[in-house]
Amino acid sequence: MQPHSPRLHIADIHFWPVNASHRPQAKLRRYSIPSIEKMSTSPDGIYEPGIIDPGFPVKNSTQSFWHSEPSSISKLRSSWVNTADIVIIGSGITGMSLARTLYSKRPQLRIVVVEARDLCWGATGRNGGHCKAMSPGVWHERKQEYGVDEAVRVMEYEHSHLEAMAACVKENGIDCDMRIVEGLDVYHDRKIFQRALDALEDMRKYKPGLASRYTVYTSKHDLSARNLDLDEACVGAIGMPAGAVWPYKFVTGMFQKMVDESGLLIQTNTTVTDVIEEDASDYATVKTDRGTIRAMHVVHATNCWMGHLLHELRPFVSPVRANVQRHIPRPNKLKIDNYSFWLRYGEHEYDYIIQRPDGAFILGRASTGRRATSDDSERDLVAHAHLRGVTPQIFNFGTRTINVTHAWSGSVAFTQDGNPFVGHLPFQNRCHQWVCGGYQGIGMVRAFRSAQMLALLMLGEGIPEDYPRSMLLSEERVQKLKRATGSKL
């Protein structure tokens, strides 16, 4: 084993103290998942009945365009260590942001990132390249669920990700095609458009600054003035600040920097098979197919796969397969790369589109035809047929001749109550474990700063007022989820 630079010993690091009531009092118990007919009834829609064990990431995944230029550390296996301060399971945007924040506050930490496949091979490396908050129409349900103050906090929090990630890219000189664009929700249903307009009007009563982030276009003339030739079925649009990025390059670029400058250890193509905590132990043991690592803190940053290792959360989080394609129009003459588009046919049914600097389009499909599964080795037939055949009939790509160069899938995570899980695990035999994930398919406006929030919790620092408290995982929230699903776990 290669010697490391001097670091703090695990026992010398001050973390947020684990509640003694969570320390295991008996021998480790194994659990089985009962057959329950219900599964997560997320407000964003779930697609099949029953609790789903996501299993482990498959090895024969579909080929994402974002992986077409592999990072030099995509298959990195650092020197193996048997002990660490922190083990992060998962190498997407969550794991990257968490490690970055921890190092910024405790540079002596020994952190190990463990990834079952190549680096950044899950949802972050398979998304649509957007960074855009949800339609303002979600204000209605968030206000009803959380009250005005928390609803405002959640929406401003999501908007804040664009500035935070753009600043990170600039500060660290990451070459990832980060561009600030105008994100347009293009509506094709008058009722849904009016609902969004009503939400903005109501939002303005409580938080004018939040409402001012949005620009309303109520006529085709408004859009034509911005050189946008949208289809006749468009009934209006709402714009907001957004970003387009090569997400894989962003994440792997930051990982490379931490490997070089902070001594971050990365173990790719290494599957975590279990996390064991023995009675009253001072550490957790991370078991992998290549060996074990003892760590004072273990973070589950696996998003749609969290339910496999965390059986306690399995009834409340569902893996859902997303579908994305890369289109090249022929001839390739249209340039609208200063926008991103969400073609909204309903509040939770839409296509999303960005144009790359080379003129190619990345587009994905939400809702119709998706499956509840973590298997990204297959694509959903209806969703991909829609992207190939229907979307070009609705959106002007500059030509009807489209060359589809890449078609892939990736699994995201939907939670029972529509909120991510961020915090310490309030379960027996989990006193050294934390979780950060479950982003409802909009991880680009949730994951980066959620991981920063988790880092503050782990280090025992106060959480700033602008972080939504509804994301925190607690015993009370778990009990509420159990009542909602009928779970007896």
CA atoms of 189 and 284, how far apart (whole Å): 52
Note whether 67 and 125 are within 8 A (CB).
yes
Backbone angle region of 427, left / alpha / beta, with phi > 0 → left and psi within -120 to 50 → alpha = beta
Residue count of the chain: 489
Measured CA distances, 237 to 24, 156, 210, 341 (Å): 54, 20, 17, 10
Instruction: Tell me the pLDDT band of 333, cut-offs 50, 70 and 90.
Output: confident
- Strand ranges for 222-338 from DSSP E: 236-244, 265-267, 272-276, 284-288, 291-300, 317-329
pLDDT of residue 487: 65
Q: Is the pLDDT of residue 106 over 90?
A: yes
CA atoms of 346 and 198, how far apart (whole Å): 15
Query: Percentage of the chain with pLDDT > 90?
Result: 79
The answer to which of 276-280, 353-357, 464-468 has the lowest mean pLDDT is 276-280
Backbone angle region of 147, left / alpha / beta, with phi > 0 → left and psi within -120 to 50 → alpha = left
Q: Is the pLDDT of residue 302 over 80?
A: yes
Count of alpha carbons within 13 angstroms of residue 226, beta-carbon side: 19
pLDDT of residue 193: 96
The answer to which of 26-30, 135-139, 421-425, 467-471 has the lowest mean pLDDT is 26-30
CA atoms of 476 and 111, how far apart (whole Å): 31
Torsion sign, CA atoms 20, 22, 27, 28: negative
Per-position DSSP letters for 409-471, written without gaps between them = EEEEEEETTSS-EEEE--STT-TTEEEEE--TT-GGGTHHHHHHHHHHHHTTPPPPTTS-GGG
Section 374-392 average pLDDT: 95
Which of 83-119 are b and which e, b meaning 16 or more Cβ less than 10 Å from the residue's Cβ?
A: ebbbbbbbbbbbbbbbbbbbbeebeebbbbbbbbbbb
Which of 271-285 are b and which e, b meaning 16 or more Cβ less than 10 Å from the residue's Cβ?
A: bbeebebeeebebbb
pLDDT of residue 177: 97
Looking at domain 47-485, its CATH superfamily turns out to be FAD/NAD(P)-binding domain (3.50.50.60)
Residue showing tokens 């309903």: 346
Please give the residue that has the higher pLDDT: either 248 or 6.
Answer: 248
The C-alpha R_g of the chain, in whole angstroms, comes to: 22
Where in the chain are the domains? 47-485
pLDDT of residue 129: 97
Please give the residue that has the higher pLDDT: either 340 or 33.
Answer: 340
Q: Is the pLDDT of residue 12 over 50?
A: no
Minimal CA–CA distance to 323: which of 361, 356, 365?
365
Note whether 39 and 315 are within 8 A (CB).
yes
Minimal CA–CA distance to 343: which of 333, 328, 354?
354
Residue showing tokens 């009503």: 198
Residue showing tokens 């974002």: 66
Minimal CA–CA distance to 51: which of 372, 376, 275?
372
Minimal CA–CA distance to 108: which of 3, 7, 11?
7
The answer for residues whose C-beta is within 8 angstroms of residue 345's C-beta and 6 or more apart is 188, 189, 192
Instruction: Tell me the pLDDT band of 19, cut-offs 50, 70 and 90.
Output: very low
Please give the residue that has the higher pLDDT: either 33 or 73.
Answer: 73
pLDDT per position as a tens digit, 183-236? 999 999 999 999 999 999 999 999 999 999 999 998 777 887 777 878 888 999
pLDDT per position as a tens digit, 23-60? 333 333 333 333 333 444 444 545 566 789 999 999 99
The answer for residues whose C-beta is within 8 angstroms of residue 6's C-beta and 6 or more apart is 108
Q: Taking each helix axis from N to C terminus, what angle separates 139-146 and 148-172, rounded to the nearest 10 degrees?
A: 120
pLDDT of residue 377: 98
The answer to which of 5-14, 115-124, 371-380 has the lowest mean pLDDT is 5-14
CA atoms of 272 and 269, how far apart (whole Å): 10
Element at 204 (helix H, strand E): helix 190-206
pLDDT of residue 21: 40
The answer to which of 43-47, 114-118, 388-392, 429-433 has the lowest mean pLDDT is 43-47
pLDDT of residue 348: 79
3-state secondary structure of 252: helix
pLDDT of residue 49: 66
pLDDT per position as a tens digit, 123-149? 999 999 999 999 999 999 999 999 999
Please give the residue that has the higher pLDDT: either 385 or 368.
Answer: 385
Strand partners, 236: 187
pLDDT of residue 192: 95
Instruction: Tell me the pLDDT band of 388, cut-offs 50, 70 and 90.
Output: very high
Instruction: Tell me the pLDDT band of 263, cut-offs 50, 70 and 90.
Output: very high
How many Cβ atoms sit within 10 Å of the Cβ of residue 245? Answer: 24
Average pLDDT score, the chain: 89
CB-neighbour burial class of residue 266 (10 A; exposed 0-12, middle 13-18, buried 19+)? buried
CA atoms of 351 and 344, how far apart (whole Å): 7
